[in-house]
Every structure is written in C-alpha cells, then in structure tokens.
Amino acid sequence: MECQLTIDLTDQKKEKPAHDKLAFGVHFTDHMFVMDYTEGKGWHDPRIEPYSPLTIDPAAMVFHYGQAVFEGLKAYRNQEGEVRLFRPDQNFKRLNRSLTRLDMPTVDEAFMVEALKKLVSVEKEWIPTAEGTSLYIRPFVIATEACLGVRASHTYKLIILLSPVGAYYASGMKPVKIHVENSYVRAVRGGTGNAKTAGNYAGSLKAQTEAHEKGYEQVLWLDAIETKYIEEVGSMNVFFKVNGEAWTPMLNGSILEGITRDSTIQLLKAWGVNVVEKRISVEELFQAYQNGELEEAFGTGTAAVISPIGEMSWNGNKMVINGAKTGELTQKLYDTMTGIQYGVVEDEFGWSVKVTE
C-alpha cells in the first residue's frame, strides 16, 4: 500500500452525546475512513472524510449476493487522556481471513493499523472517558459492483466507522440467561462460520428473537452435524470453569476465532489455570453440573469483553451456575482485560497499542 492517506476534515461538527446517554452503535463520529478497490488497480484512494451517507447503485452486489465482512474493536481513553487500541493487528489479520473465505481482495494489515490510528487520533475527543465507556470501531468491506451475475464483485469499498459506546454493564456485571438452541444452527464445517461475514449474523437473528420471547437473553449454539457440541453463545465465544479447569470449544472451522477468546486463554495460562480446548457436548456439561463441578460460565467478545452466564436452559433442564452470580475467575478476567485495555493494569503481553498523537 504505497498510496498516501488523504484527510478532509469537516467544518460541521456534530454535538457529542452525553456519557450517560450512550447506547451501542447508534451515535457516529464526524469522520470515517474510506478506501476503494477496483480489479486490476487494487486498493486505492485511502482517505479520512466527513461521515456521510453512501451513494450506491441498487444493483450493488452486496445487496444481492452478500459479500460483506466486518471487524469490531475498541479505542479506550483513560483518566490521563491516553488513548489505546487492543491488539488491532489481530483484527486486520482476521479481516483478511474473512475476505479470503468470501472471495474478496485482502488488505495490507500494517497500513490498516496505521490508518486506524490516524482516524482515532483525528476523532480522539469523541472517546468517552467515564468508566467502562469506549469508542467502538467498525471496519467493514462491501461489494459495490452493479451487476446481478452470481460471481465475486470486481469493486469493493472498505470503510471504518467510529461510535462512542456506553458501559456494557451500566449497573455492574449481570449474569445472563441462556437458551440452548436445538433447531436453528449458526454455522457448519465447510461453511462460513469462522469468517466474520454479514450472512452469519442474518441467519442468527430469528433464533435470538425467539429466545427473547421465551425470556432468555442469548442463544447457545450447538454444532450443525450432531446438534450436540457447544459452539458459541450469541455472538461471543464461550468458556466454562469445570472443577478448576477452563474449558472452551476447540476451533473447528465453524467457530469464530475470537480475539478476546485468545486473550482469555493466554491470561488463564499465565495464571496457571489449565485451559482445555476440546469438543464439549451439552450432555457432558450437564453431567458436570449435576456433579457440582460446573463452577462458572462466561462469554467473551469485544462488546462485553467478559459476560457472565448465570443460567442455562437445555431441553427443559435448568442449570443455575454459581448461584446466578458472577464467578471469581470471571470477575478477575474482566478486571484484568479491561485494566490492560485502559492502560491501568500492566500489559505483559504487548496487547495494548498507544495511539500516538
């Protein structure tokens, strides 16, 4: 990526929302990053420009054949005014894996990290500083060619949006109730489950809506082949503390390779916790529950970081985990991870990347 990043700043700045009025992904900053791809020419014209609607042909392939991949990460600003990103290189590595699976052109990862740092730096006043708040970052790539033939597009747009977001747990961590889903599936071996692509989310909404109607906050996805092994929870990876060990489903091609998942595994290992990545059947987990060995459960993902699970319902069996309270290990992981993210806990892993100003 030899081309120069151009910057066009707006003179019509929006009013920033109050810290206590922030929700998730509804407010956007004054600028966005945009870059175009044209077959034969490659990625070109990287630029920071005023946030504005796209003008896009109704025949653009993204609307019809779904070539759309995305990433999610956050920028954190602490009391000292320092701004940090968390493992942004991993997000662009994964973006490239997703792009490859969807038959879309890859990007220069190092250039993208630098471009993102520049964008965040331009928008640093938008990063809220109240506890637990942050700036959510959404890079995404969409197919833009106006053509209805079923094939990969010849043109694409990569965009990065920034959105100030409130604390995920505004009134403290609250364990969620999970429904183990037996009918709908999220992904299957040979499909797109390990790519962060729009279609995976589209297919999951119906199950989520039905779970909400039954009084659950999230769905626990099982494998599509045997409807037996645990895959993910909602749009997060999942961990269980069983008899002192940390279990998590092994990566199998249909599970998203979460960056918070990987960070969690590294932290647990550094603390001397035995981490077991394996196929976990609900049956085996229920057995552990009945034996009193299922001590904690939590999801991992960028939005919530660590999300405690208080209750799981499976075929009429109810598992109440740790008295529906946040477990000790779950809390320690949350505190350490967010501490590293805000730069208030020592980062021995080199995960935290300072945005130079």
Smallest distance, Å, CB 149 to its own copies? Answer: 5
Angstrom distance (rounded) from CA 188 to CA 217? 23
Q: Is 161 in the site for its own copies (CB under 8 A)?
A: yes
Site string for its own copies, 233-272 (x = CB under 8 A): -xx-------------------------------------
Cα torsion 203, 209, 210, 212: sign: positive
- Answer for the pair 233, 308: CB distance below 8 angstroms, yes or no: no
Count the neighbouring beta carbons within 10 Å of the beta carbon of residue 55: 5
Smallest distance, Å, CB 14 to its own copies? Answer: 13
- The two three-digit tokens of residue 276, written as one number: 């077991």
Among 9, 25, 80, 270, the residue binding its own copies under the rule CB under 8 A is 25
Task: Select the span of 157-165, 271-279, 280-288, 317-325 touching its own copies (CB under 8 A).
Answer: 157-165
Smallest distance, Å, CB 346 to its own copies? Answer: 32
Q: Is 136 in the site for its own copies (CB under 8 A)?
A: yes
Q: 61 vs 319, which CB is nearer to its own copies?
A: 61
Count the neighbouring beta carbons within 10 Å of the beta carbon of residue 162: 26
Angstrom distance (rounded) from CA 207 to CA 213? 10
Smallest distance, Å, CB 339 to its own copies? Answer: 25
Count the neighbouring beta carbons within 10 Å of the beta carbon of residue 243: 12
Which residue in 226, 259, 224 sits closest to 92, CA to CA? 259
Count the neighbouring beta carbons within 10 Å of the beta carbon of residue 289: 22
Which residues within the stretch 313-342 sit at the binding site for its own copies (CB under 8 A)?
none
- According to DSSP, the β-strands at 305-314 and 176-180 are parallel
Q: Is 17 in the site for its own copies (CB under 8 A)?
A: no
Angstrom distance (rounded) from CA 203 to CA 200? 5
Smallest distance, Å, CB 19 to its own copies? Answer: 18
Rg (CA), the chain: 21
- Answer for the pair 307, 217: CB distance below 8 angstroms, yes or no: no
Q: Is 24 in the site for its own copies (CB under 8 A)?
A: yes
Q: Is 208 in the site for its own copies (CB under 8 A)?
A: yes
Question: Cα 178 from chain centroid?
Answer: 19
Q: What is the DSSP code (8-state) at residue 281?
A: B
Angstrom distance (rounded) from CA 328 to CA 96? 36
Q: 2 vs 8, which CB is nearer to its own copies?
A: 8
Q: Which helix (H) or strand (E) holds 352?
A: strand 352-354
Task: Select the span of 47-55, 170-178, 285-293, 339-347 touching its own copies (CB under 8 A).
Answer: 47-55
Smallest distance, Å, CB 132 to its own copies? Answer: 17
Q: Which amino acid is at 333?
A: L
Among 75, 95, 102, 127, the residue binding its own copies under the rule CB under 8 A is 102
Site string for its own copies, 178-197 (x = CB under 8 A): -----xxx-xxxxxx----x
Among 3, 7, 9, 54, the residue binding its own copies under the rule CB under 8 A is 54
Q: 161 vs 180, which CB is nearer to its own copies?
A: 161
Q: Is 203 in the site for its own copies (CB under 8 A)?
A: yes
Among 142, 211, 220, 340, the residue binding its own copies under the rule CB under 8 A is 142
- According to DSSP, the β-strands at 73-77 and 134-143 are antiparallel
Binding site for its own copies (CB under 8 A): 23-26, 28, 32, 51, 53-59, 62-68, 70, 100-103, 136, 138, 140, 142, 146-152, 159, 161, 163, 183-185, 187-192, 197-206, 208-209, 224-225, 227, 234-235
